[in-house]
Structure 1
Amino acid sequence: MTGIAAPRVRSSAAPASPPLSTTLVELTWIEKKIENWIRFGCDIHEQILDRRRRVIGFAPNSTFAFVRWASNEFGTIISRIDILRAVGTGEPFQTLPFVRPGGDILLKIEGWPKVERVLQAVDAIESIGVDPADVSSDHWRHVHNRLTAGEEPRAYSAEQHRAFLLRRRAEP
């Protein structure tokens, strides 16, 4: 499987409470049954609940990818990736399982072949030296729309990223 990393394990004592505007994501890892993980994104808070569960927090306006996979005795029952922008206090948001309060959904893909295609797009972005969390929200929406329509998304280039950063810097 492309672009899949096992969850990070950090030892921690009783964690401090996250800031009120933090978007919280509950992650569960039960090998070959439930595997929820963050593919990319910079967390600002982590609380380990037990050996198999933890809660990760993201600052407002940060982007992250949340992957969910589950199976039963008959095979895979869910394979999904969501790329979200963490929202700030008072901003509108969409709700998702395991994400509190929710987020601005940039990409929502289900089914392993399409999820794998998104993970390959993430790998391609990392291969040009760009952190996928810093990519333009418009690109993730483009990838969502193209894959939903059964089309191939355009690759994200270093030149496109530079233009995005310049445009963002010029905004008031």
Structure 2
Amino acid sequence: MNASASPATNAATAAPLPALSALAGQAGNVPLTRVSLAYIEPQFKLYLRFGEPARTLRLDRWRHCAVFLPGAMFCRIRWQANGYGTVRWQLMVMQACTPLDDVQRIPGVRPGARLLLHAEGENAVRAVLERIDGIDALGITAIDVSPAYWRTLGNRLAARLPLPEYTAERHAAWLAGRVLP
């Protein structure tokens, strides 16, 4: 398990204040995306690597549910093991959508989300985690990264090509493009 990745109980326990005020201001009008999280110590971890849920619900000792507003970016990691070692690594970078957007049905994500990156296997997941750590080292929050970068990273993984780094120049271009009408 990567040391920078943390279980759901640590990554998503506190809800940010702006998201809560957005929820309170539009009670009932905001379509929310619910993401299932679980943590069973020796064999199963389903947790957020990054993302700012509007709310986190604790269902029981092992299960949580993170709730995201439309447009929110998040990364969920699934790790499974049995008595012989790790049997599954999976990483997905997703974006919560509105009811009018096209969404993909993803187990544990209701009603669905826009899948930007999907990595399966230990090597692919570790490579993406290294890119996320590089983004954090630049002082850029991973939820602010361009969705096009996540798609490019996923396509490069699938094609087994070298993975691009996210640079401060690329981020500045993304932010400038968002400001333009």
Matched, 1:163 2:170: no
Kindly provide the CA deviation profile for residues 27-56 of structure 1, in whole angstroms up to 9, marking residues without a partner as x.
010012110000001100111001110100
Q: Which residue of 1 aligns with 2:63?
A: 53
Counterpart code for 1:88: T
Contact 1:2 1:119 in 2 (8 A): no
Q: Which residue of 2 aligns with 1:112?
A: 122
TM-score normalised over the length of structure 2: 0.86
Number of corresponding residues = 167
Q: Which residue of 1 aligns with 2:19?
A: none
- Flag structure 1 segments of 5+ consecutive residues without an equivalent: none
Q: The residue matched to 2:163 in structure 1 has which SS? A: coil
In the TM superposition, what are the counterparts of 1:76-87 in structure 2 within 5 Å? 76-87=86-97
Q: Which residue of 1 aligns with 2:7?
A: 6
- Flag structure 2 segments of 5+ consecutive residues without an equivalent: 15-22
Q: The residue matched to 2:88 in structure 1 has which SS? A: strand
TM-score normalised over the length of structure 1: 0.90
Contact 2:135 2:142 in 1 (8 A): yes
Q: Which residue of 1 aligns with 2:142?
A: 132
Contact 1:2 1:116 in 2 (8 A): no
Measure, in 2, the Cα distance between the counterparts of 1:69 and 1:170. Answer: 40
Counterpart code for 2:9: R
Q: What displacement does 1:2 show?
A: 4.6
Counterpart code for 1:132: A
Q: The residue matched to 2:173 in structure 1 has which SS? A: helix
C-alpha RMSD of matched pairs (Å): 1.9
| Dislocated runs of 4+, deviation >4 Å | none
Q: Which residue of 2 aligns with 1:103?
A: 113
- Percent of counterpart pairs with the same letter? 32
Kindly provide the CA deviation profile for residues 70-123 of structure 1, in whole angstroms up to 9, marking residues without a partner as x.
122233222100000101122210011111111100000100110011011000
Q: What displacement does 1:8 show?
A: 3.0
Q: The residue matched to 2:8 in structure 1 has which SS? A: coil
Measure, in 2, the Cα distance between the counterparts of 1:90 and 1:80. Answer: 28
